[in-house]
Chains A and B, each alone.
Chain A
C-alpha cells in the first residue's frame, strides 16, 4: 500500500504542467534580469522534481522487496 502510494506520487511529480513552464518563459517571451532569473528557476523545477520522483521509486521498491520477504517468511512459518 505504501509503496503504491509512493509510486503514485512519483508519477504525479513526473507529469505536471509545471515541468514545462520554462518553455513559456524564455527569451522569446521576455528579457531582462528578472525574466532571466525566472527562466533559470523554472528550468530547475524538472530537475528537482525528477530527483524527488527517483527517490520515491527507490523507496517504493525497497518497501515492495521488504513486503515480499515478509510474505515469504510468513509462508514458510505457515508450512511448518
Chain B
C-alpha cells in the first residue's frame, strides 16, 4: 500500500498556487495559426493541473488525515516499507494517508531513498532478519536504488550503519544460509558499487579490500566475504581479495585475544573461504593467480575452509599444465606437498572449522601432470633432486594418492605432453628416472613400514609405462599402453612376488623393483621388435628379443642377466651392435633399466 505524508498548511498553499496558475493559463488566448503548438501546450498543462493534481490535493485536504493511532494499529509502522512515512510523521509531525494515485512499489523517490537509509540505521534488525516479506521488499528497493547513481547517493548520505546491519544479517546468514539475506547484501553492494571508481571491480591483482568495500571498523571477514561476493568483481579481483581476506581470517583465528569470526560462532558451516572460492572455479587464470598467492602460505587454503574439496579444486585448476607454466606450478606443488609432509588434519590444535580433508586423492591428482618434473635430470623446477624426491614421496605416501595416480593416466599423459619431446633420449631418461624414482620410493616405504602396500606403486608404474610408451625411443608403442598388456606384466610381477622370500625386506623390495623395471623394459623391447616386423625393417624369422627370467636363485639379478642376453641379441640385429636398430633398442631399454640405487644394490647382490 502506498502512503504519502504531507504538511497540511503547505499543501493548502500549493493548492492555492495551482488554482491561480490555472486561471492565469485559462486567460491566455491567441488565434494565430503559428501559435497552435504553444496553445496546445498551455491547454495540456492546464488540464493536467485541473484534472490530476488539484483533485489529488483536494482529496487529501478534504479527507481527515489518518491518525497516528490508525496506522499504528494497522501495522504500518516500524517496518521499512513505510520508512519515509515514519520519518516524516515522527520527525516532522506531518499527516499521513493513503496515496490515492500511486501504489507502485517499483518507484523509489529521492526522499524515499534518503528515508530508507535513515530507517535502516535504527531498524529492529533482528526482526528484519527474520521477516521474509520485509527482506524481499528491502531487496527490491535496494535494487531500484542501486540502478540509479543519484538515488544511491541519497541512500548512502543517510545510511551510516554498515557495521550493525551487515553484522546482524551476516550472522543470520551464517546461521541459516537464507537466500533472501544474500540478496539484501546484493542490493546493498549494488548501491555501494555506484561510489566506486570505474574499473574498480576489474582491478585484478591490484585490488584491495579497503578500496572496494565500505569502511567498517573491526569488520568481520565473513561479512567481508559476503560483501565481496555481492559486489560481483571479476574472478581475478576476487582471487586477490580472497587472499587478503583469508590472510586476515587466519590471523584472527590464530589470535586467542581476537573475537571469534561470525562463521565460527555458529559451528560447522560455510566459512568466508567457502563463500569466495567457488567464485574462482570457472576462471582458470584466477585459480592460477590464487594458487600462486596461496602457495606462499598454504594454511590460507587448508585451514580456512569448511569444505576442503573447494581448495583441492582451485589448486588442481591452478596447477593444471593447460593453465599455468611449469615454473609457477612447481612453486605451488612443492609448497603444498611440503605443507602435507605432516598430516595437517592430525596436528595438535588444528581446526579448520569443518570436516577433515581426505586429501590423499588430491595429492595424487596434484602430482599427476608433473611427474617428470620430480626427476633429477629435469630442471624445470628450482629445487634440489632430494627436495623433489621428498616431495614426491609425500604425494605418493597415501594409498588413495597412489590409486588416484594409477588411475589418472590422462593427466599424466597431459604432463608428459607438456614436458617431454617425443622419441628422444631426454624423454627416455626422464621416464626411466621417473620409474626408478617411483619404485625407489616404494623400496624406502617398505623399509619404513612393511605394512604399507606397494601394489599401488606398481600399478602406478604400469600406468607410467603405458602413458610413456608413446614418448620413448622407437616410436609409439601402442600395444604397451593397453590394459591387457599391463595386466600381463602385472601378473608376471605378482608371480615373482608370490615366491618364497628368504632375504631381508629391503633387498626383497629392491629386487622387486629391479624385476618390475626389467619386465617393463623387456616388454617394450618385444613390442619394438613387433613394430619393426610390421614396418618391414626386420625379417619375422629373426630371433626374438630375450625374455626375463623370474625364477632364479637368491643371488640372481634380473636386470643384469637380461642386459647380458639383450646385448648378445642386439649385436645380431641388422647393422650389428652399432646399427640403427641396435641403438634404438638400446635407448629404449635404457629408459627402464638404467642406473639407480636399487639396481646398483641388486647388481651387488648378483655379484
Contact = CB atoms under 8 A, between A and B. Distances in A.
Interface stretch (B106-114, B140-148, B447-455): B106-114
27 contacts: A6-B30, A6-B32, A13-B38, A16-B25, A17-B17, A18-B45, A21-B14, A24-B13, A24-B14, A24-B17, A28-B7, A29-B10, A30-B94, A31-B4, A31-B5, A31-B85, A32-B5, A32-B102, A33-B2, A33-B102, A33-B103, A34-B4, A34-B56, A36-B107, A36-B111, A41-B53, A53-B38
Interface string A1-45: 010011011101100111011001101111111111110011001
B4 A33 contact: yes
A53 B35 CA distance: 10
Interface residues of A, number: 37
B21 interface: yes
Contact of A32 (B3, B32, B48): B3
B20 A55 contact: no
Contacts of A33: 2, 4, 99, 101-104, 107, 109
The 3 A-B pairs at the shortest CB distance, nearest first, are namely A32-B4, A33-B102, A18-B21
B252 interface: no
B248 to A, nearest CB: 42
A32 B28 contact: no
A25 to B, nearest CB: 5
A37 B101 contact: yes
Contacts of B25: 16, 18
A8 B27 CA distance: 13
Nearest to A52: B38
A35 B107 CA distance: 12
A54 to B, nearest CB: 10
A48 interface: yes
Interface string A44-72: 01001100110110010000000000000
Interface of A: 2, 5-6, 8-10, 12-13, 16-18, 20-21, 24-25, 27-38, 41-42, 45, 48-49, 52-53, 55-56, 59
B62 interface: no
B24 to A, nearest CB: 5
B226 to A, nearest CB: 32
Contacts of A34: 2, 4, 56, 99-102
A59 B24 CA distance: 24
Contacts of B111: 27, 31, 36
A33 B108 CA distance: 7
A48 B41 CA distance: 7
Interface of B: 2-7, 10-11, 13-14, 17-18, 20-22, 24-25, 28, 30, 32, 34-35, 37-38, 41-42, 45, 48-49, 52-53, 56, 60, 84-85, 88, 94, 99-104, 107, 109-112, 115
Contacts of B3: 32
A30 B112 contact: no
Nearest to B29: A9
Nearest to B16: A24
A15 to B, nearest CB: 9
A36 B113 CA distance: 12
A55 B101 CA distance: 34
B5 A12 contact: no
Contacts of B85: 31-32
A29 B45 contact: no
Contacts of A36: 107, 109-112
Given A32-B99, A37-B101, A53-B38, A17 B109 contact: no
